[in-house]
């Protein structure tokens, strides 16, 4: 017997939605998938008309679907957004160079301008070099911290108002669990925010906050989207992996668990008497930081001094100032990029127009 879609009752059901367990046809699946993202964008007032938005594109499934859906919704609902693709080249041979090829194909498919920012140009270190120096143990810390700042730097170069990232519901639920397990109360509060803003930082949001990873894969699969699906060659993050398996088990027991966790995370309220670290700015580069120096500067300093093992702790005051960051000045809540020769001199920094 042919099973009909529970939504339209006409077409043959093609998938069982991971989020709800409903059996739906493809068209209805597309509709609910896209509409949920649209609702998320509208309800949280993520964009203003004529905003310039950078889509953080890694070439993976999340960002590929994000680029696709953003372009589609922008046209369907007339958000009036001007969109760019922004990629970070961590300099991982055999991984990032391949995925960047995917991004370049995406750029042509979606006709969006693409900008690639590389670690070696920003920090003077590629991930390959860093791994050579620090080994495979803490390397993900470097990569994560550097990428966050690199995205911001790239956004400033593109002069956009907003960055959207492909973090999905699974990622956020994992982070909630991880922060409980680690006892990181400050991050626990922040991690479910859909949109983050800080002094001198570009607004950053996650339109996929309520979108299940499985549905993203499903969407990419049915739409035959072109994406790159290889794990990073430098070992996956062990701690996150732990939370990830737990979350997957939870999802098996109760499919709504992922959304339930996010809901819990949003509901948490920290007692007034609990001290939270105050957010300030890094004294060296002006990036937001809860310590004197931001994590990126601390890590970089360690690398340049040849003390890569020392990942934690503040740096001594007499450290030489890293030339690159010296040029960043904070002005009017935005980086002043007017006098930076690096960007213009490097060829791959120019915006490829199609």
Partner 1 sequence: MCSVQETSLDLNVNIKPATKDCIKCKTTKATVLIRHSTYCKKCFQHVFVGKFRKNVEKSRISSNSTKLNGCGEKVMIGFSGGPSSRTMLQLINEYNETHPHETSKKCAYSEIIVCHIDESVLFNYDSTSSTFSQESTILQVEKIVQKYNYPFIGLYLQDIFNPDVTKSGCYSNVLELAVDDAKILQLEEGSVVAPTEKLLHLLNNVSKSTAKEDFIWYLKLCYLIFTARKNGCKRLFLGDCSSRLSIKIISQTSKGRGFSLPLETSGEIDWFEDVIITRPMKDMLSKEIGIYNQLNGLESIYVPSMTSMMHPKASIERLTEDKEFPSTVSTIARTGAKLTPSDSIVKENRCVENNKIWQDRITVMTIPSLHKSEECNGQQSSSNKTTSRYDNCNTINDESTTNVEFMDLLCYACRVNMLYVNVINQRIILPPYVAEGVEEQKNNNRKQMKKQIENYLLCDDEEL
What residues line the site for partner 1 (CB under 8 A)? 6-8, 19-20, 22, 28, 31-32, 35-36, 39-40, 43, 176-177, 179-185, 188, 210, 239, 242, 246, 249-250, 252-254, 256-257, 259-261, 263-272, 274
Whether 171 has a binding-site annotation, put simply, is: yes
Whether 169 has a binding-site annotation, put simply, is: no
Farthest-apart Cα atoms in the chain, separation? 76
Q: How far is the CB of 265 from partner 1 (least distance, A)?
A: 6
Whether 88 has a binding-site annotation, put simply, is: yes
Q: Which is nearer to partner 1, 269 or 344 (CB)?
A: 269
Instruction: Provide the token pair at 312.
Output: 């934690």
Q: How far is the CB of 89 from partner 1 (least distance, A)?
A: 32
Q: Which is nearer to partner 1, 276 or 351 (CB)?
A: 276
Q: How far is the CB of 80 from partner 1 (least distance, A)?
A: 20
Q: Is 348 buried (19+), middle (13-18) or exposed (0-12) by CB count in 10 A?
A: exposed
Angle, CA of 225, 27 and 256, to the nearest 5°: 85
Letter string b/e over residues 72-103, b meaning 16 or more CB atoms within 10 A of that residue's CB: bbbeeeebebebbbbbbbbbbeebbeebbebb
Q: How far is the CB of 6 from partner 1 (least distance, A)?
A: 6
What values do phi and psi take at 127, rounded to 5? -60, -35
The C-alpha atoms of residue 99 and residue 114 are separated, in whole angstroms, by 14
Q: Which is nearer to partner 1, 36 or 82 (CB)?
A: 36
Whether 184 has a binding-site annotation, put simply, is: no
Q: What are the beta bridge partners of residue 280?
A: 289
Q: How far is the CB of 54 from partner 1 (least distance, A)?
A: 24
Whether 238 has a binding-site annotation, put simply, is: no
DSSP state letter for 4: B
Q: How far is the CB of 153 from partner 1 (least distance, A)?
A: 32
Question: Under the phi-then-psi rule, with left for phi > 0, alpha for psi from -120 to 50, and beta for the rest, what region is 254?
Answer: beta
Query: What contacts 84, CB < 8 A, 6 or more positions away?
Result: 52, 53, 54, 55, 112, 113, 114, 115, 158, 160, 351
In the annotated binding site, the residues are 56-58, 62, 88, 166, 171
In the annotated binding site for ATP, the residues are 56-58, 62, 88, 166, 171
């Amino acid at each position: 017997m042919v099973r009909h879609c529970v939504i339209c009752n006409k077409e043959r059901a093609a998938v069982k939605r991971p989020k709800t367990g409903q059996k739906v046809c493809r068209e209805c699946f597309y509709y609910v998938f896209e509409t949920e993202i649209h609702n998320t964008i509208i309800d949280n007032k993520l964009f203003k008309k004529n905003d310039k938005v950078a889509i953080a594109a890694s070439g993976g499934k999340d960002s590929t679907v994000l680029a696709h859906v953003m372009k589609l919704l922008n046209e369907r609902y007339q958000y009036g957004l001007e969109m760019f693709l922004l990629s970070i080249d961590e300099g991982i041979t055999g991984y990032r160079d391949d995925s960047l090829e995917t991004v370049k194909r995406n750029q042509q498919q979606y006709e969006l301008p693409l900008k690639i920012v590389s670690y070696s140009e920003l920090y003077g270190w590629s991930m390959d070099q860093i791994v050579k120096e620090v080994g495979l143990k803490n390397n993900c810390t470097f990569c994560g911290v550097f990428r966050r700042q690199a995205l911001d730097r790239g956004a400033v170069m593109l002069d956009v108002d907003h960055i959207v990232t492909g973090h999905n519901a699974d990622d956020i639920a994992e982070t909630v669990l991880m922060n409980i397990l680690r006892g990181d109360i400050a991050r626990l509060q922040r991690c479910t925010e859909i949109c983050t803003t800080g002094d001198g930082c570009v607004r950053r949001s996650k339109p996929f906050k309520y979108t299940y990873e499985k549905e993203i894969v499903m969407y990419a699969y049915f739409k035959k989207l072109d994406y790159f699906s290889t794990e990073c060659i430098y070992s996956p993050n062990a701690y996150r992996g732990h939370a990830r398996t737990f979350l997957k088990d939870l999802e098996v027991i109760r499919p709504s668990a992922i959304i339930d966790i996010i809901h819990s995370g949003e509901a948490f309220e920290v007692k007034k008497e609990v001290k939270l670290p105050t957010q300030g700015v890094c004294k060296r580069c002006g990036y937001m930081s809860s310590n004197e120096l931001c994590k990126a500067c601390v890590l970089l300093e360690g690398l340049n001094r040849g003390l890569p093992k020392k990942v934690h702790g503040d740096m001594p005051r007499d450290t030489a100032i890293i030339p690159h960051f010296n040029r960043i000045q904070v002005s009017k809540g935005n980086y002043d990029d007017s006098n930076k020769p690096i960007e213009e001199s490097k060829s791959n920094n120019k915006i490829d127009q199609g």
